A and B are shown apart, each in its own frame.
Chain A
Amino acid sequence: MTALESHGLKKTYPGAADPALRGLDLAIQEGEFFGLLGPNGAGKTTAISIFTGLRAASEGSVRVFGADLAKAGADVRRRIGLVPQDIALFPTLTVRENLLYFGRLYGLGGADLDRRIADTLDRVALSDAADRIVDTLSGGMKRRANLAAGLVHGPTLLFLDEPTVGVDAQSRATIVATLEVLARTGVTMVYTTHYLEEAQRLCGRVAIIDHGRVLAEGAPSDLIARTEGCGSLEDVFLHLTGRELRD
């Protein structure tokens, strides 16, 4: 079954000269680990905002597990999880209190929620820091707690917006390992990152987008094979999007 499908997705922000998305067509199957790659300003975050219902598209449609997202009920939307690029946690609460809050907002409670929190904390190696105030955690621990908050309700479609940005090698390895375990449990993941070797290793399929359009789509190995002179996903990426600075 298709977990996420977009057709002709366009988005123009009020007052912007150029559209952020110019007709994005994607189809992501259930259980897929899908990489959405692109330089800064390519439209990745806008696409994720629309896929998670945070923003409305100017044109086009999005279907999640077969349901039109614009009309989808809470049942469908509760299957979605988001790990934003920012550390989206309440800094004066403990990690456990954050997870309790987000879990309860998803309608969970009691022993079931306690068990899920314990599992999730174990998964991101934060069991020992569960009762620490978020503000006192290191950058890597915060990043892992941020991931845990997106996982606690057990989503089947998870959007990860640069989940490993700015962390040390150890935390990054833990996060990647967690994602690999999740992928094996059948969770569909849509993943954005600037670490292309990470995407090459983790993703079954990637789409390279720029200026709001898909430039190439397929398994990393296929993309490397079919792009002349490229030995890695990063080579393909630079070949397609160019080397000029974007920021």
Chain B
Amino acid sequence: MTRFARQVGASLRKEGRTLLRDRGGLIVLFAMPAALVLVVTVVQERTMRFVSAPNASLLLIDRDGGELGAALKEGLLAAGVFTVETGIEGRVPTEAEAKAAVARGMFQAALVLPEGASAAARDKANRLAEGLLAVASSGVPPATEAAPASRLSVWLDPVLTEPYVKLIRNVSMGVVRGVEMRLVVEAFAKGMLAKAAGRPGAALPEFLSKGLAAAPMADGPATLLALDAAAATDRGWADVPDSVQQNVPAWTIFAMFLIVIPLAGGLIRERREGTATRLRVIPGAPAASLMGKSLLFLGVCLAQFALMLAIGTFVLPAFGTPAFHPGPVLAQAFVVGLVTAAAAVGFGMAVGMVAGTPEQASVFGASAVVILGALGGVMIPRFTMPEAMRALAVVSPLGWAQEAFLGLFLRGGDLASVLPWIARLMAFAAAGMVVALTFQRRRG
């Protein structure tokens, strides 16, 4: 082993001992991020489900009991983004109870179909058909009073995002319009046949009645224009992350960059207390000391990485969230973790060498990590940010790391696909070290 390697080894041991005796530092590095990922993931779980999870829960109170209610339930389920409950604890709740259940977050929406809605719709369809036939035969509409429409009440969770509200409304109204259309066609056909046979009120022949009942409301052979939608990339849809997928990598990155506080603080204290002066008298010691610190904090970052993944995989499910599944890309994720750690160490070194006091370093370091974290999509997912903020995210190394992790965990990518983010992180790490060494020389 070379003399320099022994010096680095000695520095690594010294740094390890120093860190182990720094309870505050250990709390900042391990306990705080662990608490953050637990609390934030669980807190965001409900909100993130609204924008990302495929199975938001709806409560359908069908007081009608007719074809409209059945069609509504079928249509909502067919949309593929809802689960539909028709009662709470085995009984049909009142509208007030349903509203309260939504307010408590038990359901994302409650739909209340009033009694007689199907009959009212059928009556309205009949009147519409009669009117059309009267106009067609005599040119004069019948003098019948328009029946009042039944109203479908929808109670929505106030935290639902606008697109989600629109989705519930559009699916519901799509189903209702489909049923309405069928009823109108049925009434019109009935009227036409009765007119042709000269027997008012005659029933539809059985084959026509069955055919109309079986008529598809969505895409089917009778559809005039079908819609085909597919992802524009070979990898398929870039899923929106759920709370766990978003928060586990995000807070891991945040934790890694928090090393700026103990790392920069330690560098400044050494300078102020004079140990840095003593080191500079020893040949090779300043470089070995920096190397020892870098290696120790790289190790700390990787330990944080392992801890956060373990929390995501084993602890979070106990709090009712889905488990974090790193999937088959764990080795690639480790590489991204290592590069992120290098970027965090470079940042810490630079802050430690540029800042004049530990207070400056901790205030600047912590603020910078929070701001860059917010910009980079650590606090809230980037896709929920306004366009301008999303554009700003390109300056955040925490955002680069988050994109690299999401690329692996969520989009099924490999190292090659996240290489641009890895390259940026490596450049950032190198820039941090250059700044640190430049200031170290200048302060000498």
Residues of A within 8 A of B (CB): 52-55, 74, 77-78, 80-82, 84-93, 97, 100-102, 104-107, 109, 133, 149-150
Q: List 16 A-B pairs, Cβ < 8 Å.
A: A54-B277, A54-B281, A80-B281, A84-B277, A85-B274, A86-B274, A87-B274, A88-B274, A89-B275, A90-B18, A91-B273, A92-B18, A97-B14, A101-B13, A104-B7, A150-B278
Instruction: Contacts A74-B284, A78-B283, A104-B6 given; indicate if A55 touches B274 (C-beta within 8 A).
Output: no
Q: Whose C-beta in chain A lies nearest to the C-beta of B20? A: A92
Contact B273 A88 (CB under 8 A): yes
User: When chains A and B are docked, how far (Å) is the Cα of A86 from the Cα of B271?
Assistant: 11
Instruction: State whether A97 touches B6 (Cβ < 8 A).
Output: no
The interface residues of chain B lying within 8 Å CB-to-CB of A84 are 274, 277-278
- A residues in contact with B278, CB < 8 Å: 82, 84, 88, 102, 149-150
A88 nearest in chain B by CB position: B274
Once the chains are docked, how many angstroms separate the CA of A188 from the CA of B13? 32
Q: Smallest CB-CB separation from B14: which chain A residue?
A: A101
Q: Which residue of B lies closest to A159 (CB)?
A: B281
Given the known inter-chain contacts A55-B444, A78-B283, A109-B6, please indicate yes or no for A88 contacting B277, CB distance below 8 A.
Answer: yes
- Asked if A93 contacts B14 (CB within 8 A), the reply is yes
User: What 5 A-B pairs come out closest when comparing CB atoms?
Assistant: A86-B274, A88-B274, A104-B10, A74-B283, A88-B278
Of B279, B282, B444, the most chain A CB neighbours within 10 A belong to B282
Is the interface on chain B under 10, 10 to 19, 20 to 34, or 35 or more residues?
A: 20 to 34
Q: Is the CB of B3 within 8 A of A82?
A: no
Residue of A nearest to B270 (CB): A90
Q: Bound complex: CA of A53 vs CA of B286, how far in Å?
A: 13
Residue of chain A at shortest CB distance from B3: A107
Given A88-B274, A109-B6, the answer on whether A93 and B283 have CB atoms closer than 8 Å is: no
Pick the residue among A87, A88, A93 that contacts B18 (CB under 8 A): A93
Check: B288 CB closer than 8 A to any chain A CB.
Answer: yes
Chain A interface SS verdict (over half): loop
**Contact string against A for B residues 191-225, beta-carbon threshold 8 Å, 1 for contact and 0 otherwise:** 00000000000000000000000000000000000
Contacts of B14 in A (CB 8 A): 90, 93, 97, 101
Judged by a CB distance under 8 angstroms, whether B17 is at the interface is yes
Contact: B275 with A53, CB < 8 Å? no
Residues of chain B within 8 A (CB-CB) of A106 are 282
Interface residues of B in 268-313 (CB under 8 A from A): 273-275, 277-285, 288
Contact of A87 among B273, B282, B288, B444 (CB under 8 A): B273
Residue of B nearest to A80 (CB): B281
Q: Could you tell me if B21 and A92 are in contact, using CB atoms closer than 8 angstroms?
A: yes
Instruction: Determine if A107 and B17 form an interchain contact, defined as CB atoms under 8 angstroms apart.
Output: no
Quick check: is B97 within 8 A (CB to CB) of the other chain?
Answer: no
Query: Is B22's beta carbon under 8 Å from chain A?
Result: yes
The reply to whether B283 and A88 form a contact with Cβ atoms under 8 Å apart is no
Roughly how many angstroms separate A78 CA and B280 CA in the complex, as a whole number?
Answer: 11
Chain B: CB-nearest residue to A93? B17
Q: Which of B6, B278, B283 has the most chain A CB within a 10 Å cutoff?
A: B278
Q: Which of the residues B7, B10, B21, B275 comes within 8 Å of A88, measured between beta carbons?
A: B275
Residues of A within 8 Å of B277, CB to CB, are: 54, 82, 84, 86, 88
- Give bound CA distance, A86 to B269, whole Å: 12
**Chain A positions within 8 Å of B7 at CB level:** 104-105, 107
In the bound assembly, the distance between CA atoms of A91 and B275 in angstroms comes to: 10
- B10 and A97 form a contact (CB under 8 A): no
Q: Which residues of chain A are within 8 angstroms of B18 by Cβ–Cβ distance?
A: 90, 92-93
Residue of B nearest to A100 (CB): B10
User: How far is A133 from B288 in the complex, measured between Cα atoms in Å?
Assistant: 24
Distance to closest chain A CB from B286 (angstroms): 10
Please give the distance in Å from A1's CB to the nearest CB on chain B.
Answer: 21
Q: Which residues of chain A have C-beta atoms less than 8 A from B6's C-beta? A: 104, 107, 109
Q: CA separation between A48 and B281, bound complex, in Å?
A: 11
- B267 CB, nearest partner CB in chain A, Å: 13
Contacts of A104 in B (CB 8 A): 6-7, 9-10
Q: CB distance A90 to B283 under 8 Å?
A: no
> What separation, in Å, do the CA atoms of A78 and B18 have in the docked complex?
26
Cα A105 to Cα B274 in complex, Å, equals 16
CA distance A91 to B270 in the complex (A): 10
Tell me the minimal C-beta distance from A47 to chain B in angstroms: 15
- Min distance, Cβ B438 to any Cβ of chain A, angstroms: 16
CB < 8 Å neighbour of B282 from A90, A93, A102: A102
The answer for the CA separation of A88 and B280 in the assembled complex, in Å, is 12
Q: How far is the CB of B21 from chain A (nearest CB, A)?
A: 5
A134 and B274 alpha carbons, distance in the complex (Å): 14
Considering the complex, give the chain B residue whose CB is closest to the CB of A78. Answer: B283
Instruction: Tell me whether B279 and A105 are in contact (CB under 8 A).
Output: yes
CB contacts (< 8 Å) of A81 on chain B: these are 281
Docked pose: A180 CA to B168 CA in angstroms: 91
Q: How far is the CB of A135 from chain B (nearest CB, A)?
A: 10
